[in-house]
A and B are shown apart, each in its own frame.
Chain A
Amino acid sequence: MKFLPLIWAALWRKKTRTVFTLASIMVAFLLFGMLQGVNAAFNATVDRANVNRLIVANSVSFTESLPYSYMAQIEQLSGVSAVSQQNWFGAYYQDPKNFVFSFPAEPARWRRVSPEYKLPEDQFDAWARTRTGAVIGIDLAEKYGWKIGDRVPLHSTIWTKPGGSSDWEFDIVGIYTSPDSPTRGNQFFFNYAYFDEARSFNKGRVGWYIVQVQDPRQSAQIAASIDKLFGNSTDETETKTEKEFQQSFLKQIGDINFIVTRILFAVFFALLFATGSSLMQSVRERIPELAVLKTLGFSDGRVLWLVLAESLMLCLLAAALGLAVASALFPSLKGAIGVVTLPRVVIIEGAAIAVLLALATGLLPAWRARQLNIVDALAGR
């Protein structure tokens, strides 16, 4: 600790250069925090997938539909405890940027396969008996200020009514919470019966089935049984665990993990040179001063450590600032990813990367300072 003022003063010897270096590292860590935060939030969604659930989709693509009649056949299979179905409604509220994750569902079936959604009994009953009723997540309700009793119009980008209209109206009858799955708090469920009756095409078909199994150890076997059941039909199925399904769904958007990793690798690789050359220049300018320290009795090892500590202080400070800004900005992504706080794992990863960056950029100048010959350095050679 007694060397801290010395290290701090050396860091700010050239204020402008330090500010620019600090800013460039900070921006890199801001980018890291946001991108890796989104990545971690998606991964957390996948990790929270229910191990008891299978998703049955059309083997051609999950955007292709399946007959509603499959439901009864799947229910008959041994080891299946409940089946529900969902469709991708693809809707927005008032403006295309206000995308709403909305799905038609059958209330009773929905409740059996989705125990993570907590909905008061009276609200559930209201949903079951209201044709245009909808239940929404607490986050969605807060986002648009919706409350029970409100009539809400959604515009579907897929589904039209017989008159050609894509505008659908729903009555909010319930607001659910999902304490164990915070990313699910922005969804919108409404009655399948209303949807199927009012849509102009594809009636009697569903997007995918959600199958609750009694024993997750039998998931693979049950999945194979389902796919075998519908093999050689016009609508063959592909059954996956919920986790696999979510992973493949995210890959439809793009391999987020791959993209994020490559972007961050490029950013930090560039930063390595920028920060490294800045530190090297700083040491070069201070050769006589470092020689003075050695003259006073600072050992080679201590001088190496001082330069390395300077690099550590710079990188950790910049990382802390960058991640702090990312933490402050992260709640603005809640509407898109459903997570309000920067995952702790991202902060830990950020700190580790800052240490690695400091070592990678500081080691060479620190070694140069260590190898300094006092007599030559004082003589300006």
Chain B
Amino acid sequence: MAAIVSLRNVVKRYTRGKHSVEVLHGLNLDIETGDFVALMGPSGSGKTTLLNLIGGLDTASGGEVSVAGERIDSLSGGQLAKWRARHVGFVFQFYNLLPQLSAERNVELPLLLTSLSAAQRKKNVQTALAIVGLSDRAKHKPTELSGGQAQRVAIARALVSDPTLLVCDEPTGDLDRATADEILGLLQSLNREQG
């Protein structure tokens, strides 16, 4: 299988005030299409930094980052935004839903950047919410949902535009053990069925 993510000699350096800290030192990594990969390591080891580079949220200080055969380390900010909209779905530890929007409006957000009609967007949103088992919570605001339900909405939002890659940064970090298992199970089944 071809590598969907390929990193070559990737270096990431942060400058905070007068101090420069190198977080990634010449990293090489290949992730195959359909893989379900978990990054593990102590706090500060660079897990989030690596995910940010793969997801196109940040740019490397050196080396090459390719996703689905496209070099993203050389894309401009505007190009990266378009690329993210097309290729990446993000799930965060704290769900990062917009509190003023209902679940279905939150899920619809990535589709606003497409040329889909309102009816098509609604249909896709319903499908995504059905996949995560939250069809009956479509009109609920994030504050009206449990942690697990909110994370399911976030997963639906990440899936709705049918991304090439799903990047999840500690998706169970804010959940109790049972709900965390449930979310991981959902992600694994999604990977099996749609990855």
Contacts and interface: CB of A to CB of B under 8 A. Distances in A.
A296 B57 contact: no
Given A289-B98, A375-B58, A300 B105 contact: no
A13 B100 contact: yes
6 contacts: A2-B112, A2-B121, A289-B99, A293-B109, A297-B82, A301-B78
Chain B interface SS verdict (over half): helix
Of the listed residues A10, A12, A13, A375, the one surrounded by the most CB atoms of chain B closer than 10 A to its CB is: A375
A378 interface: yes
Contacts of A292: 92, 96, 98
Nearest to A8: B100
Chain A interface SS verdict (over half): helix
Interface string A265-294: 000000000000000000000001100111
B96 A288 contact: yes
Interface of B: 48, 52, 55, 57-58, 77-78, 81-86, 90, 92, 96, 98-101, 105, 109-110, 112-113, 118, 121, 157
B105 A5 contact: yes
Contacts of B100: 9-10, 12-13
A178 to B, nearest CB: 54
A288 B96 CA distance: 8
B78 A296 contact: no
Given A297-B85, A375-B52, A378-B92, A6 B78 contact: no
A375 B57 contact: yes
A324 B48 CA distance: 53
Contacts of A2: 112, 118, 121
Interface residues of A, number: 24
B109 A374 contact: no
B98 to A, nearest CB: 5
Contacts of A6: 101, 105, 109, 112
A157 interface: no
Contacts of B105: 5-6, 9
Given A2-B118, A3-B112, A374-B58, A297 B86 contact: yes
Contacts of A63: none
